[in-house]
Amino acid sequence: MKKIIILIPVYNDWDSLEKLLGEIDETVKDIKNIFIECLIINDASTIISPQFIKPKNIKKINILDMKENRGHARCNAFGIRYVNENEDFDNLILMDSDGEDRPIELKLLIEKIIENPNISVVAKRIKRSEGPFFQFLYSLHKIITFVFTGQKINFGNYSCLTKSDVSKLFNKASLWSSYSGTFKKNINDFNEINSTRGKRYFGPSKMSLYNLIIHSFSIIAVFKLQVLTRSFFIIIILGYINKFFTLDLVFLKIPVILFCIIIFLVSLRENEKELLKSSENLINIKEINN
């Protein structure tokens, strides 16, 4: 029997969580020889959680109440550490609570990990549900990430980790800032499934333009040394072009330098000390039995 824990951060969005749990229950009902447990990280919600009825195909649901709101990425970081240190499990799935990580793709993740149990699986985004402006920004993010880091990162949090890969990630300082960047930097061998970004169950997206930019820069900041090296070579190349073709390219050099500075400032969000003591923010654990 394979035990799989699904880690789900939530902040006030209890209606979405309830709908998500029902859809998870429906998705996993026909998968044999697995034990599904859900671990809900309540990120200091200001709305009291309702009384949930545990779906029959989810064997256990625990809600971990946090004292202070730390944000989605840090809930995932805490959850990964908590599972590594306190749970007996075979695999850990990271999943958003709002419906954008489609429960129907859980079956693909689980089938892939059963097929090759020693290799983690990520949900590669092949299609998104957002508007054209967001999709343009996402494409721009992927291009900038590749140019400055050499990494192609086309997945988010939605993934299924092996126990050994959880042990590789749980103490990395960059996990406090970016899961996908930390995964890509530390896990060399992984499988993929194709994934379509779903639509939120209720309400508009809570991701502002500012948070989107910080999210993008946080991923890139995991590879800050590569950013520095590549920026250095870009500036040298621009210098040679400037010298031999008598072109004034200072308008390109300055943004590269500023970008480098911004990335190093964003990298300060990586905080090993806060990560290691994140369990101090946990105030209560309650199990949903009914």
pLDDT at 132 over 90: no
Distance CA 272, CA 172 (A): 7
pLDDT at 178 over 80: yes
Distance of CA 126 to the CA centre of its chain: 16
99 or 171, greater pLDDT: 171
Q: Cite the DSSP H helix spans in the chain.
A: 14-28, 72-86, 106-115, 132-149, 163-169, 179-186, 209-221, 224-244, 250-266, 272-276
> What residues does each domain of the chain span?
2-129+153-205+272-288, 224-265
Instruction: Tell me the DSSP string of 135-166.
Output: HHHHHHHHHHHHHHH-----EEEEEEEEHHHH
pLDDT digits (tens, 9 = 90+) for 63-109: 999 999 999 999 999 999 999 999 999 999 999 998 889 999 999 99
Confidence of residue 246 (pLDDT cuts 50, 70, 90): low
pLDDT at 240 over 90: no
pLDDT of residue 84: 97
What is the second-level CATH architecture of the domain 2-129+153-205+272-288? Answer: Alpha-Beta Complex (3.90)
pLDDT of residue 247: 63
